[in-house]
Structure 1
Amino acid sequence: MTSAQEKQLLHLVIGGELSDLDNIQFTDLDAVDIVGVYPNYKAAYDVWKTKAQMTVDNAHMRYFIVHLHRLMDPDED
């Protein structure tokens, strides 16, 4: 695999308002913001950071990066 064909390590960025800051439970699942799927952690992190900064005034709003590649192929390092 050449550097131009780097392996995709898919990451999902999602966010929403939490009902309790001690647990990851969204107040309204219909309102969860599914931001998008990104080909690597760096791209996902950049989007996550932007979204998190946009909602900094709401203490219950949280954004997360989900490592989809780990869910899709849990045996691979």
Structure 2
Amino acid sequence: MPDSKSPASDKQLLHLVFGGELSSLEGHQFRDLSRIDFVGAYPDYASARAAWKAKAQSTVDNAHMRYFIVHAHRLLDPATDGQHD
């Protein structure tokens, strides 16, 4: 049976989620790069956001802990920069 999804909805938009303890609350410099927590790679923004939110909420007691979502698909294919993700 054919898939009812449109080809556009099947397009993978790679997102990376990672975080760690920052040196300062004002910047994005990590205190120790060897301790970066790589949460995972996700095929869409919604999945990445769910993972980011779970990790961010689990570290809420440490003000220096920050997690980020990187839109890796934009780095791999700059033409996707304007696409909704």
Q: TM-score, normalised by structure 1?
A: 0.92
In 2, the alpha carbon distance for the partners of 1:70 and 1:49 equals 21
State the one-letter code of the partner of 1:26. F
RMSD: 1.4
State the one-letter code of the partner of 1:21. L
Runs of 4+ in 1 over 3 A off after TM superposition: none
Secondary structure of the residue aligned to 1:75 is helix
Q: Which structure has the highest helix share of the two?
A: 2
In 2, the alpha carbon distance for the partners of 1:9 and 1:37 equals 10
Q: Which residue of 2 aligns with 1:35?
A: 39
Unaligned runs of 5+ in 1: none
Greater Rg, structure 1 or structure 2? 2
State the one-letter code of the partner of 2:5. S
